[in-house]
Amino acid sequence: MTKRIQLFILATGLAWTLLASTLSAQEFEPGFIDPYPILQAASAAIGEERLSCVSISGNAYTGMVGQQRLNGYEVDWPRGEPLSNYTRIIDWQNVRMLETFDREPGNNPAGWKYGLGWLGGTPVQQETRQEFMLNNSYAWHKDGANGTPFAASHLDAERWQLDMWLTPHGFLKAARLPGANPRATWRWELGEMGRDGATVKPEKVTIVTIDLLGKYRVDATVNSQNLLQRIHTWVPDPVLGDTNYEHEFANNDYIDIGNGIRFPTIWHHHTGWDDNYQAQSTNAGHNAFGGNQSTIQANVCPGDLPVPNEVLNGEIADTLEVSELADGVYLFGGSSHNSVVVEFADYIAVVEAPLNERHNLMVIDEIVARIPDKPIRFLVNTHQHHDHIGGLRTYMHIGATIITHWKNYDFYTKDVLNYAQRTLDPDLVSLLPPTELAEGYQYETVRENYVLTDGDRIMQISYVHPLNHVEGMLAAYLPQERLLIEADLFDGPSGFHTDPTTAEPNQANRSLYNHVQRLGLDVDTIVPIHGRPVAWDEFAELVN
Ligand SMILES: [Zn+2]
Ligand SMILES: [Zn+2]
């Protein structure tokens, strides 16, 4: 690490002219031009070399990526609780960043900053004050200023570091890092230029591309005023694969903060394509972070940010705890999300493929170890929130048929269960695509009711409505065992949406209660996807 930092300091000390290529035009590949004059002009326009750290403060909104309510037919992610007293302090030279803000507790996992990462791997946020730290390859958060440090996953740590470099000054500094290998091209842009700024005339822009952290390709669009208007890359996501990730800045967002330094007051971020007309994808959610951070201080650094011991030890390992709920019915818990495994005479059905591929392969390996000679024939999916579908592709890879509500079908076939290459964190379907991804018996789409049975055991799957949690929700009922398997309508103890011991009944709880009454189900035990099973009577007492 020290070596890399030294190289960086050495490199940042060099003027762009010294780095500039002496190649003549015909030595570039067709369509490409010399990146160094572009970088040099962009650096001069914002006083890049005079800014080594920055502190920005204000407020921000957040988008809950992957938590859309209506099936991907909306044009944007639902908004999370607003962030107030927001401050971000960046130190590019030492690769450190500190973000702090206040947010109403109780609405999301504490480890969620904004955008991607709403995966529920951590307990629900308890304190108003939230702190997120990055020091090179280590990242962690604290729920409350005195909270215990909680290590972020290595993918989160990389993404938070990308956030540092996807700033105008950060990009230009990253272009000097060893291995950045800048190259440039150009295009005429018409209409929307980066940030919703309608233009009448086409404007010629240049695009500089660099390599970062050994695997990310990052590009910046530089306009005729030499300002970076869009900085863009792709990040890995278990549901969407290589996902569009970009920060955009309009010309008049840039303010003068003295000493020839200009910095944008608005940070506007997209996770997913800004594709309101859904021409390219069913799910057009994109605005995931933004706001006005107009208090900007040059060369204020975040301090040393020493990595706590809890974080040096690495991220919390994913674990499995298996318990038998009834003969041949198993709860695969131990994590933020459960799966329920049900053995039929000739096959196995699994309810829910949450989180990511790694987690689901752990579940599948354990099923195969316990019941080696029956195929896993069906995967029952409760709903399309991304924290509940990160393993759909894994089950498709092993040949299971996915049972889901019909309203999820377009989104899954088009955006999730597709052949698109996943380069940043490839999964099995992407590495080893089957010859037919959807031509076989790959889906069962349920409208109202669907039954799996071998003549003895019965699983009755039903559409839960009306509901405010999400559209396209299924629940699974085992009448002989009197078990009801459901997601997010009610959490058991240590679940993450609500704490059942203190919670007031919410609308989702009432939806579940009414659903069971309407269908006349005789439930003994609720088996939630979050938290431990709960007696129906206890639940009924809460709701009534
Ligand atoms: Zn949900
Ligand atoms: Zn959930």
Same domain, 296 and 346: no
CA of 469 to the centre of ligand 1 (A): 6
In a domain, 60, yes or no: yes
The per-residue pLDDT for range 104-116, each reduced to its tens digit, is: 998 888 889 998 8
pLDDT, position 3: 39
308: helix, coil or strand?
coil
Q: Give the residue numbers spanning the domain of 193.
A: 2-303
Same domain, 261 and 331: no
What's the chain's Rg over C-alpha atoms? 25
Could you tell me the two tokens for 506?
């919410």
**Which ligand is nearest to the Cα of residue 354, counting in written order?**
2
**Which ligand is nearest to the Cα of residue 352, counting in written order?**
2
CA of 380 to the centre of ligand 2 (A): 15
Same domain, 191 and 109: yes
In a domain, 107, yes or no: yes
Beta bridge partners of 339: 332
**By the 8 A CB rule, do 396 and 389 touch?**
no
pLDDT, position 4: 41
**By the 8 A CB rule, do 189 and 205 touch?**
yes
In a domain, 327, yes or no: yes
Position 101 pLDDT exceeds 60? yes
The per-residue pLDDT for range 490-515, each reduced to its tens digit, is: 988 876 555 555 568 888 999 999 99
CA of 412 to the centre of ligand 1 (A): 16
C-alpha torsion sign, points 518, 519, 520, 526: negative
pLDDT, position 1: 37
For the chain, the average pLDDT equals: 90
* CATH code for position 514: 3.60.15.10
Position 71 pLDDT exceeds 70? no
Share of residues in the chain with pLDDT > 70 (%): 90
Query: Which of 303, 329, 358 is a domain's end point?
Result: 303
pLDDT, position 15: 61
Tally of CB atoms within 10 A around 12:
16
Same domain, 351 and 494: yes
Query: Which of 271, 303, 335 is a domain's end point?
Result: 303
Same domain, 256 and 379: no
C-alpha torsion sign, points 306, 309, 314, 320: negative
Alpha helices in 290-381 (DSSP H): 309-312, 357-370
Position 8 pLDDT exceeds 50? no
Same domain, 266 and 377: no
pLDDT, position 151: 93
CA of 284 to the centre of ligand 2 (A): 21
Give the confidence band of 5 by pLDDT, cuts at 50, 70, 90: very low
pLDDT, position 504: 80
Name the domain count of the chain: 2
Same domain, 198 and 332: no
Alpha helices in 220-356 (DSSP H): 309-312
In a domain, 309, yes or no: no
Query: Which of 303, 330, 354 is a domain's end point?
Result: 303
In a domain, 194, yes or no: yes
**Which ligand is nearest to the Cα of residue 473, counting in written order?**
1
Give the confidence band of 436 by pLDDT, cuts at 50, 70, 90: confident
Same domain, 455 and 516: yes
* CATH code for position 43: 2.50.20.10
* Amino acid at residue number 66: G
The per-residue pLDDT for range 437-469, each reduced to its tens digit, is: 877 778 999 999 999 999 999 999 999 987 778
The per-residue pLDDT for range 194-216, each reduced to its tens digit, is: 555 555 678 899 999 999 999 99
In a domain, 316, yes or no: no
pLDDT, position 48: 98
pLDDT, position 20: 55
User: Which of 20-29, 117-126, 438-447 shows the highest mean pLDDT?
Assistant: 438-447
Position 315 pLDDT exceeds 70? yes
Protein residues within 5 Å, CB atom, of ion ligand 2: 488
Give the residue with greater pLDDT, 155 vs 167. 167
- d(C-alpha 299, C-alpha 451), whole Å: 64
In a domain, 18, yes or no: yes
**Which ligand is nearest to the Cα of residue 508, counting in written order?**
1
Same domain, 328 and 284: no
The per-residue pLDDT for range 394-409, each reduced to its tens digit, is: 999 999 999 999 999 9
Same domain, 201 and 242: yes
CA of 39 to the centre of ligand 2 (A): 45
CA of 121 to the centre of ligand 2 (A): 11
Position 326 pLDDT exceeds 50? yes
In a domain, 122, yes or no: yes
Question: What is the C-alpha end-to-end distance of the chain, expressed in Å?
Answer: 59
The residue written with tokens 């209409």 in the block is: 191
CA of 485 to the centre of ligand 1 (A): 14
Give the confidence band of 7 by pLDDT, cuts at 50, 70, 90: very low
Same domain, 111 and 199: yes
pLDDT, position 395: 97
pLDDT, position 10: 43
The per-residue pLDDT for range 405-426, each reduced to its tens digit, is: 999 998 999 899 999 999 999 9
Same domain, 331 and 247: no
Share of residues in the chain with pLDDT > 90 (%): 73
